[in-house]
């Protein structure tokens, strides 16, 4: 069974109504990165950062996976599909994808402020627990913080993602500008003979565009077109 590795970014979830960060009207126009998405911000004002992620969690209750999420999950019937996502939402899982690697953390999890990547302290929140309060403690006695990889922090799952890229038979990029590292660097690990499909309605700059098959569509229409191309490729 061929292995398809899919790198997804904010454009994947935008069709579900999840607000993107970098586009016009995105979250960074309302919040400064320095105030809500760095370790320094959390140390300076943990209440503001906690409330920011509480609001983002509650947004998940109002959105559903888009058709693109569903189609990727359905591909598992014919391929060994692995999702590597820059998104912190749970829409891939809710659509049915079974192999999802979150590079930047998961919105529905919280962890220790002292050892955020220690698996003993990572906690999955139920929907009725999405409102984290100052004073809610991890098992090590520190304040619960979002299980999010903030700017300036290492990306602990990147080595696993690199191994997936190296083993891919098909590599797909959906809804990411390829400006965010180290995620964008994954394409450099895809073997030279392996096709790379880029699904994005906008032009995306990469240093080796000749390697990309650009599907100039949004996530849902683009994944449907990808499936057609894969079927044609396997005839």
Sorted by where each starts, the structural domains of the chain and their CATH numbers stand as 1-17+65-104+154-235 (3.40.50.1220), 19-62+108-148 (3.30.1600.10)
Per-residue pLDDT at 28 = 43
Note down pLDDT in tens along the chain; length 235 residues.
999 999 999 999 999 988 655 444 444 446 777 888 999 999 999 999 999 999 889 989 999 999 999 999 999 999 999 999 999 999 999 999 999 999 999 999 999 999 999 999 999 999 999 999 999 999 999 999 999 999 999 999 999 999 999 999 999 999 987 777 787 789 999 999 999 999 999 888 777 778 889 999 999 999 999 999 998 876 5
Burial of 1 (0-12, 13-18, 19+ CB in 10 A): exposed
Which one of the listed residues 82, 92, 102, 104 is annotated catalytic?
104
pLDDT (0 to 100) of residue 205: 77
Residue 68: what pLDDT?
97
Give the angle 165-93-176 at the CA atoms, nearest 5°.
50
* Whether the Cβ atoms of residue 132 and residue 121 lie closer than 8 Å to each other: no
Round to whole Å and give the CA distance between 145 and 193: 42
**How much is the pTM?**
0.92
Known active-site residue 193: no
**DSSP reduced 3-state for 169:** coil
């Amino acid at each position: 069974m061929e292995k398809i590795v899919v790198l997804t970014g904010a454009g994947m979830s935008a069709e579900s109504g999840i607000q993107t960060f970098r586009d016009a009207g995105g979250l960074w126009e309302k919040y400064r990165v320095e105030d809500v998405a760095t370790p320094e911000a959390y140390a300076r004002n943990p209440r503001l950062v906690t409330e920011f992620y509480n609001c983002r969690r509650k947004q998940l209750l109002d959105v559903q996976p888009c058709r693109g999420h569903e189609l990727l999950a359905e591909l598992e019937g014919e391929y060994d599909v692995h999702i590597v996502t820059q998104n912190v939402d749970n829409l891939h899982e809710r659509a049915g994808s079974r192999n999802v690697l979150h590079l930047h953390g998961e919105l529905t999890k919280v962890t220790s402020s002292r050892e955020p990547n220690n698996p003993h302290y990572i906690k999955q929140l139920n929907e009725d627990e999405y409102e984290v309060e100052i004073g809610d403690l991890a098992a090590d006695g520190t304040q619960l913080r979002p299980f999010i990889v903030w700017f300036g922090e290492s990306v602990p799952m990147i080595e696993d993602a690199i191994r997936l890229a190296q083993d891919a038979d098909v590599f797909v990029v959906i809804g990411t500008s390829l400006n965010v590292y180290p995620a964008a660097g994954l394409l450099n690990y895809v073997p030279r003979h392996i096709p790379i499909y880029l699904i994005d309605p906008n032009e995306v700059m990469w240093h080796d565009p000749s390697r990309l098959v650009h599907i100039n569509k949004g996530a849902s229409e683009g994944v449907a077109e990808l499936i057609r191309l894969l079927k044609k490729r396997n005839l």
